[in-house]
Amino acid sequence: MIKYKLFLFFITFFIISSVIRADNKVDHKIAVLVNEDIITSFDIIQRIKLTAVLNGININDDNNQMILNNVVDELIQEKVKLQKINEYKIKVDEIEYINFEENFLKRNNIDRSQLLLSLEDNSINYHELKRLLNSELLWSKLINGLYYRLTSVSDIEIGEIISKNPNLSNEQAESLVIQRQLDLQSSKLIRDIMNEATVEYK
């Protein structure tokens, strides 16, 4: 379930010097430089709040450091992914995005109208959600374009999956095998581009 209100919290870690004030305004101070792309304190705060809303959690003293670290890592990876996406000139149209968003909300059992209300209540720009999902969609298209033709599925692999999940069809099991291979290629590519990236914390 989506939490409709988040507790106000202060971010005082070394990456962020700005403070969320009562009016929810924050300075757009550069927090991280990824190659030539910037991540601002506002970007980080927006993504932290969005993460909390999507996962139905409240920010508190016990989890804020972990969430902050995860969000900053996520935004850095997002930047280097987009650089690779732009290198290959990957695009998505509005229909593709709408379908992707619908599937995301369905998979996570999230009602769109309630989500939009929650975003508004917590001063989260809808563009932040769209940026997150659009980045995932673009990266998926890139990985499929680069590696799908290299995937292969054996009867043994299909049999192993079906033995553990008898309700799956052969086609579903095959899709799972292919997706696992694509996920491995995705992880490897992310590691490679992260190793080449210059990340500077301000």
Residue 20 lies in a domain: no
Distance, in Å, from the CA atom of 192 to the CA atom of 184, rounded to the nearest integer, reads: 12
Domain of 123, in residue numbers? 30-201
Written as tens digits, the pLDDT of the chain (202 aa) is 333 334 333 333 433 334 344 344 556 788 999 998 999 999 999 999 999 999 988 888 888 889 999 999 999 999 999 999 999 999 999 999 999 999 999 999 999 999 999 999 989 999 999 999 999 999 999 999 999 999 999 999 999 999 999 999 999 999 999 999 999 999 999 999 999 999 999 8
Question: In this structure, is residue 65 part of a structural domain?
Answer: yes
Question: Which residue has tokens 């990340």?
Answer: 199
Spatial separation of the C-alpha atoms in residues 80 and 93, rounded to whole Å: 21
Distance CA 93, CA 108 (A): 23
Q: What's the sign of the alpha-carbon dihedral 149, 151, 152, 158? A: negative
- Indicate the number of domains in the chain: 1
| Contact status, residue 37 vs residue 135, Cβ threshold 8 Å | no
Q: Which two three-digit tokens encode residue 49?
A: 């709040």
